[in-house]
Amino acid sequence: MTKSTAPWARPQKSSETAPRNKPLLIRKGHVIDPRNHVDAVRDVLIQGRHIERVARDIKAPPNAEILDAAHLIVTPGLIDIHVHLREPGQEEKETIATGTAAAAMGGFAAVACMPNTVPPLDNVSQIQFVTMKAESEGYVRVYPVGAISKGQLGKELTEFGAMVRAGCVAISDDGVPVANAKMFRRALEYARTFGLTVIDHCEEPDLAAGGVMNEGRLAAVLGLKGIPRQAEYIMVARDIALCELTGGALHLAHMSTKESVALIRQAKKRGLPVTAETAPHYFTLTEEAVADYNTLAKMNPPLRTAEDRAAVLEGLSDGTIDVIASDHAPHTAAQKSREFDFAPFGIIGLETTLPLVLTELVQKKVLSLSNAIKALTDSPARALNLPGGHLAPGAPADVTLIDLKAKHTAGTFASKSQNSPFIGRTFQGRAAATLVDGDVVMSEGRLLRKPPLMNG
């Protein structure tokens, strides 16, 4: 398929004025909807902003728009629950507009954005700022994650209830995790009041302090200060213990070590309300990627060893790790071209996550296509109790179309920042189109601005 002939590639202008109430029929795609056990060629009918039904050979209603999805995979809109949009405060790295553009390009219909902005998302007005900005400028759905503590200082709880009313979907002190065990216990307990999941970035701050890469042989040779794997899994163990104590829902972000995977596997066996996530770089790369002081492979948690990578793959394959999220962390070229110690942690990932999942997991038979889609739709939706992630009648009309055959090489990104270690890497498979609320927001690598939401 070529760009020019894509049947749904409406010119931008007409999309802006297109009537929203026109039914849309996605025809003859291979529908994969893990929650509803669909894995077959089906038609998907969208009415307004909702899925009307998924069935074989649906007769097109009069005046329906038709998308021919033959030879494409049709899935619930992908959801990335770990994204740094950097707005407010660090707009030189990313904005809600550019970050959601990157999401749409990568096939994501929704993102949950982390609260470590400047200032952090720790009160109602900050949450409102994000949701309003996302409604007016965003290409995809944005679910703000509120901070656990005021100023992310780990001292006083934020107003979870008020933030939930304003649109916050989960809480986390991502980037500056809560060191104090009692404080984290209170967060897990109080979050239960509102059915909120607590997301933790597991890092024992004193052990990790000053570290810039995985502690081990390579760090010893390079003369770089290591972050021991224990800094992660000590906190995984602590969090699981506190989850057991409180019964609060816990989501463990970006898991990178084999011990963490083992601890989570055990916790799940005991029936604790724990979900876990990893990012594509942890199942694709190892610490060797920083061997020439490549700051584009500097991230936190750091890339680990081949053994850890294997354990992460196994955790994905047996379902210990539920969710794949990008941990999209944009930084400017100037910041990333500094000395290794001075360059900030993090890489962008919204536009490489699906290609890496398809290339590294599906093609290499770590996950079935259906389970890979599950880790990008159903599981993240369940982890944070989000509305999408499936295609049952009445579900939001968020849909992703995937071309499994498309070969492409990562070059430049829609994200405002370009800090990716995957530049130059060749992938097979990518998003062909992203639909949010029944509107095509991306088609064949072109962004189509969605009309502003009418009623939120």
Partner 1 sequence: MKLKHKDLLGLAHLAPEEIDFMLHTAVPFKKLFTRSIKKVPPLRGKTVAMLFYEPSTRTRTSFELAAARLSADVLSLAVSSSSVQKGETLMDTARNLEAMKIDFIVLRHSVSGAPELLARGVRAHVVNAGDGNHEHPTQGLLDLFTIREKKKKIQGLQVAIIGDILHSRVARSNIWGLTKLGARVRLCGPATLIPAEMKTAFGNNVDVTYNMKDALDGADVAYVLRLQLERQQENLFPSLREYHDFYGLDAKKLSWAKKDCLVMHPGPMNRGVEIDSSVADGPQSVILDQVTNGIAVRMAVLYLLAGSSEGAPPRAARNITGSESSSGRTG
Q: Which residues bind partner 1 (CB under 8 A)?
A: 84, 90, 92, 116, 118, 175-176, 216-226, 292-296, 299-300, 327, 329-346, 418
200, 308, 327, 398: the active-site residue: 327
The sign of the dihedral angle between the CA atoms of 372, 377, 382, 383 is: positive
Q: Tell me how far, at minimum, the Cβ of 56 lies from partner 1, in Å.
A: 45
All residues at 6 or more sequence positions from 286 whose CB lies less than 8 Å from its CB, including other chains: 303, 304, 305, 306, 308, 309
Using CB atoms within 10 A of its CB, is residue 220 exposed (0-12), middle (13-18) or buried (19+)? Answer: exposed
Q: Tell me how far, at minimum, the Cβ of 327 lies from partner 1, in Å.
A: 7
b/e burial code for range 86-111 (CB count within 10 A of at least 16 → b): bbbebbebbbbbbbbbbbbbbbbbbb
All residues at 6 or more sequence positions from 324 whose CB lies less than 8 Å from its CB, including other chains: 277, 278, 279, 280, 316, 353, 357, 372, 375, 376
Q: Tell me how far, at minimum, the Cβ of 416 lies from partner 1, in Å.
A: 11
Residue placing its CB nearer to partner 1 in the complex, 222 or 310:
222
Residue placing its CB nearer to partner 1 in the complex, 12 or 294:
294
All residues at 6 or more sequence positions from 368 whose CB lies less than 8 Å from its CB, including other chains: 362
DSSP character for 301?
Answer: S
Residue placing its CB nearer to partner 1 in the complex, 77 or 154:
154
| Ramachandran class of 263: left when φ > 0, alpha when ψ lies in -120 to 50, beta otherwise | alpha
Residue placing its CB nearer to partner 1 in the complex, 212 or 274:
212
Q: How many CB atoms lie within 10 A of CB 343?
A: 20
Residue placing its CB nearer to partner 1 in the complex, 186 or 298:
298
Q: Six-digit token pair at 45?
A: 């009918």
| Residue reference for tokens 């390009």 | 105
Residue placing its CB nearer to partner 1 in the complex, 145 or 447:
145
Nearest-angstrom CA–CA distance, 192 and 242: 13
* Amino acid (1-letter code) at residue 249: A
The sign of the dihedral angle between the CA atoms of 260, 263, 266, 270 is: negative
Cα–Cα nearest to 373, from 145, 140, 107, 71: 107
At what angle are helices 229-246 and 258-269 packed, to 10 degrees? 10
Residue 235 is inside which H or E element, if any?
helix 229-246
Q: Tell me how far, at minimum, the Cβ of 103 lies from partner 1, in Å.
A: 16
Residue placing its CB nearer to partner 1 in the complex, 274 or 289:
289
Q: Tell me how far, at minimum, the Cβ of 439 lies from partner 1, in Å.
A: 30
Q: Tell me how far, at minimum, the Cβ of 259 lies from partner 1, in Å.
A: 17
Nearest-angstrom CA–CA distance, 443 and 435: 9
At what angle are helices 258-269 and 306-317 packed, to 10 degrees? 30
Tell me, yes or no, if 43 is annotated catalytic: no
Q: Tell me how far, at minimum, the Cβ of 277 lies from partner 1, in Å.
A: 15
Q: Tell me how far, at minimum, the Cβ of 118 lies from partner 1, in Å.
A: 8
Residue placing its CB nearer to partner 1 in the complex, 194 or 345:
345
Catalytic annotation, residues: 327
